[in-house]
Structure 1
Amino acid sequence: MTIADNRAPTWWSLTPLVFGAFVVAAEGTILTGVLPQLSRDLHADPAAVGAGLALYPLVYVFGAPTLAVLAGGRSQRLICALGLVTFALGNLIAASAGTLAILMVGRLVAALGACAYIPNAGARALSLGADRRGRVLSIVASGFTAATLVGAPVGIYLASLSSWRYVLVLIAAGALAVVIAQWFSRLRDNPVSTMSMREWLAFVTQRRMLAILLLTFTVVLGEFVVYAYISLVAQHNVHATPAQTATVVLVFGIGSTTGTLLGGFLVDRYGWHRVLWTALTVIATVLLLLPFATHPIAFGAALVVWGLFGWMLTPAQTNRLLHAYPDNGAVLITLNASAVQLGVATGGLAGAAVTSTLGPAALATTGAVIVWIALAAAALTRSTRQPNS
C-alpha cells in the first residue's frame, strides 16, 4: 500500500493509464510504418519482416489468458508495473536486433509485457465507479487511437531522421516513466482475479460468453480485411499518392479517436445495447458503400464515419461483458482484447488472400459481407434472449 491509496481517485488519475496505452500501441504502429528500413537493416525480405511483426497479436491472444491465471491474487498495480518493465525490455532487445530472429524475440517479450499491462490497467481504471465505466474504458482506449493519430506519424518521422532503433529506446523510456506514474496513482489497487486454468476454460466456454466474443472477433476481422490494406483501397478508389495515403490514415484516426471518447459517453448515457447495434449497422453500411466512394471528399467522409462508429464497438462490447459478468473486470477485458487481437491478425491474413485472388477492389465488399453476417447472426441470437443480455 502507498499513500496514494488514501486519496480519492479523480478523472486525472487515469492519465498514467492513458499514456501507458499510448506507449504500448505506438510501438507496433511505428514498426509497421518503417518496415522498409527494418527490412534493409536486418537484411530480410519485407514479407518475412511483416510476418514477424504479426507475431505480436497472436502472442496476445494466447499469452493474456495464461498470464491472467499466473498473476491471480497479486496486486494489479504490481502486475501493471511488471508488464511495462517487461514491455520496455522487449523494446530494448528489438532495438539491438541485428537479425530478424532477435527482432522477433524482442517483439515476443514486449507482447508478453502488454498482455500483463493492458487488462490490469483497464481493471484499475474501473475503480472510478460502475456508473462511469463506459467513459473510463473509452478514455483509457483513447491512448491507443492517439498512438495511431499522433504517435505513429511522429515516430516514423523521428525514425527517418535517426533510426528506428532510437525510437524503440525512446518508447522503452516512456514505458518506464509510466511505471512510476501509475504506481503512485490514486486508483484503488485490487488483487488480480484468481482463476485456475480449468475455471478459466469453464468461464470462457459459456455459450453467452462465446457469443459475445465471437461477435467482437468477427466484426474486427471484417474491418481489418479492409483497414490492414487501406493504402491499397485508397490507391484503387481515389488514386492516392503516398502523401495522400498518410492523410487518409490521419482522417481515419481523427474519426476513431472521436468515436472512442464519444462511445464511452453514449454507453453511460444510453446503454451498451443501443450503442452496439447502431455502431454495427453503420460499420456494415459504410463498408458496403466504400467501393462507390471514388471522390476524395466522399472517400474521406466514409473513413471518418467508419472510424467514428467502428471504435464504439470496443466500449460497447466490454460494457456488455461487464453487465453480464460484473465481478470479473480484468478477465473480461483480457478476453475481449484477445478477441480483438485475433480479429486483427485473421483480418490481415484474410485481406492478403482477397488481394492476391480478387484484387484490392474486393476488399471493402468482403469486409462488409463479413460484418453483415455477424450483425445478422447477432440479431437472430438476440431475439431468443432478454434485450439487455
Structure 2
Amino acid sequence: MPAWLFALLAAAFVLYTDDYVIAGVLPEIARDLDVSEAQAGQLVTAFSLTVALAAPMAGVALARVSRRHLFTVSFVVFVVANLLAATTTGFGPLMALRIVAALAAAASTPAVFAHAAERAPEGHIGRYVAVVALGVTGSIAAGVPIGTWIGGQYGWRATFVSMAVAGIAALVFVLATLPREHGRTGEVPSVSDQLRTLAGAPVLLGILANCTLMTGSMMMLTYMAPHIDAVSEASVDQRALAFSLSGIAGIVCIWLGGRATDRWGADRSLVAGIIVFTGVMGILAALWFARPVPFSVLVVVGTIWGGMAFWNSPAIQARLYLLAGPVAAQALALNTSGTYLGVALGGAVGGMTLSGLGAGFLPAVAALLGLGALALLACAIGASKRPVRGETTAADVA
C-alpha cells in the first residue's frame, strides 16, 4: 500500500483524537478555568456539533479546491487553534478555539476518506478506506490515553500543545507523500446537481441508516460502564479490560469489514454487520434477566459488539463513494455530519434510557435502533436499484 495512504491514516488519527482527548483532561480544565465539569464537557459537545453542521457545507463549498491546498490550510488552522488553546486563560476563548479547530476538522475529515477511495485500485476501495478508518479506532485506543497521560503529567495545556505538534507532523507526512493534483474544476458538478444527488433516496437514506446505527453503538459505548456494573459484579480493572478488548476488536473488524466490502459488496457487508450488531444487542438485553452474569460471558459478547460497531465503517464509506460518483466527497462530508450527530444522539438517548428505564434497557433500545437502521438501509438499497429516466442504476454497489 502506498505511503500517502498511511499519511491519510495519520491525519484521521490526529483529527479524531483532538475531538475525544478533551474527555481525559476535563477535571483539570474545569478546575483551572473555574467552571464545573459539566460545563467543561460542553467543549466536546460544541466540537461534535460544529463538525456535524459544517461538514456538509464545507464539502459543497470546497469541492473545487485541490486536496493538497485543502489539507494545508485546514491543518494550519488546526495547529494554530490548538496552540492558542494552550495559552488561553478563559473558558469562553477556549470554547471559541475548539469551534475553530472543529471547522478545520469538518473541512478535511471527509476529504481524507474521499481521497483514499478515489485513489484505490479497482476492487480495493473497502480496504483502502479501512486503513484510513483505523485512525478513528486508533484515536480511541491510543490517542486519547496518550493525550490524557500528557495532560496528567504536564497539565492540560500540554495536551493541546501535543495536538498541535501532531497536526504539524501529519501535515508534513501528507504533503510529502500525497500525489499532486492539477485542479479539480472539471470534475465538479454545479451546486444544484450536487444537492440533487445528495438529497436522492439512495444516498440520504443510507446516511440516515448510518446515523441511526451510530446512535445505537455510541449509546452503548458511552454507558458501557454502568451497564457492566448493573449486569455483572465486575471490578474496575475488569471494566478497563472490557473497554480495551472492545477497542482491539474494533481495529481488527475495521480491516475485516473492508475486505468483506471488496469481496461481498458494500450493501451485503452492511446488512451482515447490522444484523450481527442487532443480534448481539438482543443477547445483552436477555442477559439482564440472568444477572449477575459471569464477567467472562459478558466480555465475550461485549468484544463481539465492539468489533461489529466498527465493521460497518468501510462499507458505509465505499457505498456512498460508489453511489455519489463525482460528488462522492460531498456525500462523505454529509455522512461525517450524520456520524457526529449519531454520537451526540447516542449520549442523549442513552442518558434518557439510563435515567428513565435503567441500565438493563440500554441494549434493548440499541437493538431497536439497529432494526431501524436495517429498515432504512433496505429502503436505500431498493431506491438505488430503481432506474431513473436518463440515469443508470446503482445496482453495482451490491
TM normalised by structure 1 equals 0.91
Partner of residue 162, structure 1: 154
2:150 and 2:159 in contact (8 A); partners too: yes
What code does the residue aligned with 2:24 have? G
Q: 1:306-385 alignment to 2 at 5 Å?
A: 306-379=305-378, 382=381
1:318 and 1:332 in contact (8 A); partners too: no
Query: 1:303 and 2:297 equivalent?
Result: no
2:326 is paired with a residue whose SS is: coil
- Percent identity, aligned pairs only, is 27
User: Which structure 2 residue ranges, 5 or more long, are not aligned?
Assistant: 386-394
1:89 and 1:109 in contact (8 A); partners too: no
**1:51 Cα offset (Å):** 2.5
Partner of residue 3, structure 1: none
Partner of residue 177, structure 1: 169
**1:33 Cα offset (Å):** 2.0
| Separation in structure 2 between the aligned mates of residue 80 and residue 385 of structure 1, nearest angstrom | 32
1:124 and 1:188 in contact (8 A); partners too: no
What code does the residue aligned with 2:99 have? L
Query: 1:187 and 2:179 equivalent?
Result: yes
Partner of residue 390, structure 2: none
RMSD: 2.2
Query: 1:69 and 2:60 equivalent?
Result: yes
| Separation in structure 1 between the aligned mates of residue 42 and residue 305 of structure 2, nearest angstrom | 27
CA 1:330–1:382: 2 relative to 1, 3 Å = closer
| Separation in structure 1 between the aligned mates of residue 170 and residue 79 of structure 2, nearest angstrom | 11
Q: Which moved more, 1:232-241 or 1:160-169?
A: 232-241
Q: 1:21-40 alignment to 2 at 5 Å?
A: 21-40=12-31
Partner of residue 389, structure 2: none
| Separation in structure 2 between the aligned mates of residue 92 and residue 201 of structure 1, nearest angstrom | 36
Partner of residue 88, structure 1: 79
What code does the residue aligned with 1:295 have? P
Match of 1:216 among 210, 214, 218: 210
1:76 and 1:191 in contact (8 A); partners too: no
Partner of residue 249, structure 2: 255
| Separation in structure 1 between the aligned mates of residue 130 and residue 221 of structure 2, nearest angstrom | 21
Query: 1:121 and 2:112 equivalent?
Result: yes
What code does the residue aligned with 2:200 have? Q
**1:377 Cα offset (Å):** 4.4
Match of 2:238 among 225, 244, 248: 244
Cα distance per residue 1:15-71 (max 9 Å; x no partner): 211111111111222211222222212211122222231111211112112222332
| Separation in structure 2 between the aligned mates of residue 106 and residue 329 of structure 1, nearest angstrom | 29
1:69 and 1:195 in contact (8 A); partners too: no
What code does the residue aligned with 1:317 have? I
CA 1:167–1:207: 2 relative to 1, 3 Å = same
Partner of residue 46, structure 1: 37
Cα distance per residue 1:125-181 (max 9 Å; x no partner): 231334221111110110111111112222222221111210210111110121122
2:12 and 2:136 in contact (8 A); partners too: yes
Partner of residue 226, structure 1: 220
**1:246 Cα offset (Å):** 2.8
| Separation in structure 1 between the aligned mates of residue 270 and residue 49 of structure 2, nearest angstrom | 26
Aligned residues: 380
CA 1:384–1:155: 2 relative to 1, 3 Å = closer
Cα distance per residue 1:307-330 (max 9 Å; x no partner): 222212121112112222222231
2:8 is paired with a residue whose SS is: helix
Partner of residue 203, structure 1: 197
2:340 is paired with a residue whose SS is: helix
TM normalised by structure 2 equals 0.89
Query: 1:285 and 2:284 equivalent?
Result: no
1:61 and 1:341 in contact (8 A); partners too: yes
2:284 and 2:301 in contact (8 A); partners too: yes
| Separation in structure 1 between the aligned mates of residue 179 and residue 78 of structure 2, nearest angstrom | 22
Partner of residue 96, structure 2: 105
